[in-house]
């Protein structure tokens, strides 16, 4: 069945559907709600949290006149409900005002915001007594305003009735796939709708794994081995290091070198807690590649980190005859041209950079080895773009947290893992405290004290700019507030992602040299940056970060041996319990697993279900999909392997393969 056979789909709608990535009825069926509005019961204002959607019934106490300000106009109503009063504001919808009246009964549906202590609904849906629109469970689609919600609802409902999708995943019990589509698109119960999403996600994951496996079976994993020297050729550099390599660093290097010297492509992950010393493993093996005559590239997720790696590398490589260049987005055009020319002619052995190294203008004369640092900050596609810069490139990826996607693939048996153990002794871990608002002042007092005593401190905020109604959340406002108040007289710096690169790196440099005592930052400091004097990490509204990120942030402090360090995680009462695990657990692996349980795997897998829907993919679902995918390869299932869904993914897998 074609899309334009659905009722109401003409050329215009067709183009809009295409714009949302919907090209056939199957795509439309898989265009899943991102959330459900549950208007089956009344909300309670006294319990509701900001950001929650609520259905409220009450009486209009006061209705304002229409106010005009330039191109903007609005009016407001104060509504008394059994659980408290709420202010409803409607912008640029003057015609709605005549439907409202002081003293009349009203039903409102909206998202709760709090502005200066006043609870508000902005542009809520409403109806008077006798209305029957605001009821039931309504699916909300991620239509980005391109198509009306009611049209999408009508179209998906028609698909549910008319389109049959043969299931791939063979599940013994539970919902059938057809039931799942019905439950998700035409919900009668929120829990059941989510069960439906889960069943559909299982289908997609199964197809993805099957496609991946099909693709693998065709792929050429053989390479021409060009690494014919023993690693002992690096002894001079190893001796030059200001420290002894630990046993696990040596083991990781051995693993990498063994992979390089084999006849199949390396796909290895180096996992080690923050600060365990992965960089030196990367740099030594890259230098080794150089001595064997191959170029290598190291890609890091931020300019700060790339610059830092470059600095470490040039220090280490000085006098070795191995050349190294830096390429980032903020390199000047002339620098870029120079570095690209050198890379293409083979005049540079080691290229270090950000995403900039992925650019088409970066061509290698003899790329043999690629390293991706902080893998979880990159997409699969970026990793493969990098390794496809040349034929048979060996790849090592570095991560402080075993990312769930890698976990899944590791389970699938095609990425190998080397672990680097932490060099920290018990007393060297940051003592972690989860705190709520009441303790904030005491914390800033402590920070002031430590700063004056010579320690360095990070204060991390979830965002740069303020959003309405939330206090102390943005890096900029915290900076303004603290540098004039609690931290007056202390040298305070500010750094965030969108800041000009030059100022950013100057600030980071000043911090790492100890010229700045307190650095107020956004999550940009999460990855890799090394400041040996940092002793305190304070994260405001830490519930906005995942556990894995918090663990990374915490790893930014206490990097000097024997230093006593602290980590404060400020959060709302509601999230306190959830974050408590940070106080006890130091194992990054365990935290990553817990993170996945709390937040799901969807982000990592990048599947449509998770991209769009609020549905969470968990370990159990991954396991189940693996079982279902394996079952597809049993004799007798050949026809199913031709399923359109698998085809879809095997086309994509060519671009996004992890290998």
Per DSSP, the three-state class of 298 is strand
We find the least distance from the C-beta atom of residue 374 to Mg ion, in angstroms, to be: 6
Residue 29 or 282: the one with the smaller Cβ distance to Mg ion is 282
Contacts of 88 (CB under 8 A, 6+ apart): 76, 77, 78, 79, 108, 110, 120, 121, 124, 126
CA distance 643 to 633: 13
CA distance 56 to 81: 7
Q: Which of 110, 196, 272, 546 binds ligand ADP (CB under 6 A)?
A: 272
Residue 279 or 385: the one with the smaller Cβ distance to ligand ADP is 279
Q: Which of 268, 278, 448, 554 binds ligand ADP (CB under 6 A)?
A: 278
Q: Which of 476, 524, 474 has its CA nearest to residue 497?
A: 524
Q: Which of 276, 285, 549, 657 binds ligand ADP (CB under 6 A)?
A: 276
- The secondary structure of 97-150 as a DSSP string is GGG--TT-EEEEEEEEEEETTEEEEES-EEEETT--SS-EEEEE---TTTS-HH
184 binds, among ligand ADP, Mg ion, none (CB under 5 to 8 A by kind): none
234 binds, among ligand ADP, Mg ion, none (CB under 5 to 8 A by kind): none
Q: Which of 110, 275, 353, 523 binds ligand ADP (CB under 6 A)?
A: 275
Q: Is 245 in the site for ligand ADP (CB under 6 A)?
A: yes
Footprint on residues 624-653 left by ligand ADP (CB under 6 A): none
Q: Is 314 in the site for ligand ADP (CB under 6 A)?
A: no
x/- letters, 415..434, toward ligand ADP (CB under 6 A) = --------x-----------
Q: Is 555 in the site for Mg ion (CB under 5 A)?
A: no
- Residues present in the chain in total: 659
**Which phi and psi angles does 181 have, rounded to 5°?**
-60, -40
Q: Is 249 in the site for ligand ADP (CB under 6 A)?
A: yes
Q: Which stretch binds Mg ion (CB under 5 A): 249-257, 468-476, 527-535, 591-599?
A: 527-535
Q: Is 335 in the site for ligand ADP (CB under 6 A)?
A: no
- H/E run at residue 251: helix 247-260
Q: Which stretch binds ligand ADP (CB under 6 A): 81-89, 103-111, 268-276, 359-367?
A: 268-276
The alpha carbon of 181 is separated from its chain's Cα centroid by a whole number of angstroms, namely 28
What residue ranges in 216-299 does DSSP mark as E strands?
267-272, 295-299
Per DSSP, the three-state class of 156 is helix
Cα-trace Rg, the chain: 28
We find the least distance from the C-beta atom of residue 396 to Mg ion, in angstroms, to be: 13
383 binds, among Mg ion, ligand ADP, none (CB under 5 to 8 A by kind): none
CA distance 615 to 279: 36
284 binds, among Mg ion, ligand ADP, none (CB under 5 to 8 A by kind): none
Q: Which of 243, 332, 489, 562 binds ligand ADP (CB under 6 A)?
A: 243
Footprint on residues 432-461 left by Mg ion (CB under 5 A): none
Residue 167 or 588: the one with the smaller Cβ distance to ligand ADP is 588
Q: Is 246 in the site for ligand ADP (CB under 6 A)?
A: yes
We find the least distance from the C-beta atom of residue 283 to Mg ion, in angstroms, to be: 11
Beta-bridge partner residues of 534: 456
Residue 167 or 528: the one with the smaller Cβ distance to Mg ion is 528
Burial of 152 (0-12, 13-18, 19+ CB in 10 A): buried
We find the least distance from the C-beta atom of residue 471 to ligand ADP, in angstroms, to be: 33
- The secondary structure of 158-222 as a DSSP string is HHHHH------S--SSS--HHHHHHHHHS-S-HHHHHHHHHHHHHHHHHHHHHHHHHHHHHS--B
Residue 526 or 593: the one with the smaller Cβ distance to ligand ADP is 526
178 binds, among ligand ADP, Mg ion, none (CB under 5 to 8 A by kind): none
Number of residues that bind ligand ADP (CB under 6 A): 17
Contacts of 86 (CB under 8 A, 6+ apart): 45, 56, 58, 78, 79, 108, 112, 119, 120, 121
Q: Is 399 in the site for ligand ADP (CB under 6 A)?
A: no
Footprint on residues 498-557 left by ligand ADP (CB under 6 A): 528, 530
Q: Is 528 in the site for Mg ion (CB under 5 A)?
A: yes
Residue 220 or 244: the one with the smaller Cβ distance to ligand ADP is 244
274 binds, among Mg ion, ligand ADP, none (CB under 5 to 8 A by kind): ligand ADP
Residues 495 and 524 sit within 8 Å (Cβ to Cβ): yes
The alpha carbon of 5 is separated from its chain's Cα centroid by a whole number of angstroms, namely 38
CA distance 532 to 518: 14
Q: Which of 248, 267, 279, 295 binds ligand ADP (CB under 6 A)?
A: 279
95 binds, among ligand ADP, Mg ion, none (CB under 5 to 8 A by kind): none
Residues forming the site for ligand ADP (CB under 6 A): 243-246, 249, 272, 274-280, 400, 423, 528, 530
Residues forming the site for Mg ion (CB under 5 A): 528
């Amino acid at each position: 069945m074609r899309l334009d056979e659905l009722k109401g789909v003409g050329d215009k709608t067709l183009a809009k559907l295409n714009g949302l990535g919907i090209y056939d009825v199957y795509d439309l069926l898989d265009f899943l709600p991102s959330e459900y509005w549950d208007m089956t019961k009344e909300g309670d204002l006294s319990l509701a949290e900001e950001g929650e959607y609520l259905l409220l019934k009450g009486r209009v106490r006061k209705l304002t006149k229409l106010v005009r300000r330039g191109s903007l106009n609005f009016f407001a109503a104060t509504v008394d409900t059994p659980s408290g009063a709420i202010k409803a504001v409607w912008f640029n919808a003057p015609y709605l005002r005549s439907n409202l009246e002081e003293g009349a009964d009203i039903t409102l549906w909206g998202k709760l915001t709090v502005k200066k202590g006043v609870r508000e609904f902005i542009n809520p849906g409403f109806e008077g007594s006798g209305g029957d629109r605001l009821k039931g469970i309504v699916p909300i689609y991620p239509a980005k305003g391109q198509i009306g919600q009611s049209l999408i609802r009508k179209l998906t409902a028609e698909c549910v009735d008319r389109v049959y999708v043969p299931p791939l995943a063979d599940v013994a019990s539970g919902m059938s796939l057809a039931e799942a589509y019905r439950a998700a698109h035409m919900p009668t119960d929120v829990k059941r709708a989510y069960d439906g999403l889960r069943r559909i996600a299982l289908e997609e994951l199964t197809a993805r794994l099957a496609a991946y496996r099909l693709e693998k079976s065709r792929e050429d994993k053989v390479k021409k081995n060009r690494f014919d020297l023993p690693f002992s050729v690096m002894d001079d550099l190893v001796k030059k290091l200001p420290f002894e390599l630990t046993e696990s660093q040596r083991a990781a290097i051995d693993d990498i070198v063994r992979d390089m010297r084999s006849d199949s492509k390396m796909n290895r992950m180096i996992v080690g807690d923050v600060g365990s010393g992965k960089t030196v493993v990367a740099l030594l093996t890259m230098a080794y590649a150089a001595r064997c005559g191959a170029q290598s590239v190291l890609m890091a997720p931020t300019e700060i980190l790339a610059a830092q790696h470059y600095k470490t590398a040039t220090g280490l490589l000085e006098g070795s005859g191995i050349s190294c260049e830096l390429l980032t987005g903020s390199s000047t055009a002339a620098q870029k041209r120079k570095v690209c020319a050198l890379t293409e002619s083979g005049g540079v052995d080691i290229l270090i950079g950000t995403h900039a190294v992925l650019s088409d203008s970066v061509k290698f004369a003899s790329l043999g080895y690629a390293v991706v640092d902080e893998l979880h900050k990159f997409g699969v596609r970026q990793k493969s773009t990098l390794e496809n810069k040349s034929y048979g490139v060996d790849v090592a990826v570095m991560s402080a947290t075993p990312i769930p996607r890698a976990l899944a693939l590791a389970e699938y048996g095609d990425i190998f893992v080397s672990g680097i153990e932490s060099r920290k002794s018990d007393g060297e871990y940051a003592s972690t405290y989860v705190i709520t608002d009441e303790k904030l002042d005491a914390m800033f007092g402590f920070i002031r004290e430590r700063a004056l005593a010579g320690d360095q401190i990070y204060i991390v905020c979830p965002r740069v700019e303020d959003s309405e109604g939330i206090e102390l959340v943005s890096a900029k406002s915290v900076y303004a507030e603290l540098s004039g108040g609690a931290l007056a007289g202390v040298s305070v710096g500010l750094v965030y992602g969108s800041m000009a690169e030059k100022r950013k790196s100057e600030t980071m440099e000043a911090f790492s040299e100890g010229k700045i005592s307190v650095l107020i930052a956004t999550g940009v400091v999460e990855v890799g940056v090394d400041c040996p004097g940092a002793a305190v990490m304070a994260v405001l509204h830490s519930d906005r970060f995942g556990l894995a990120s918090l663990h990374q942030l915490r790893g930014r402090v206490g990097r000097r041996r024997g230093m006593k360090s602290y980590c404060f995680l400020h959060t709302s009462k509601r999230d306190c319990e959830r974050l408590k695990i940070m106080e006890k657990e130091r194992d990054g692996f365990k935290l990553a697993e817990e993170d996945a349980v709390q937040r799901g795997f969807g982000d990592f897998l990048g599947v449509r279900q998770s991209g769009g829907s609020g549905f969470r993919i968990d370990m159990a679902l991954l396991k189940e999909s693996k079982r279902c995918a394996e079952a597809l390869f049993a004799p007798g299932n050949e026809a199913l392997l031709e399923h359109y869904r698998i085809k879809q993914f095997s086309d994509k897998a060519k671009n996004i393969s992890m290998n």
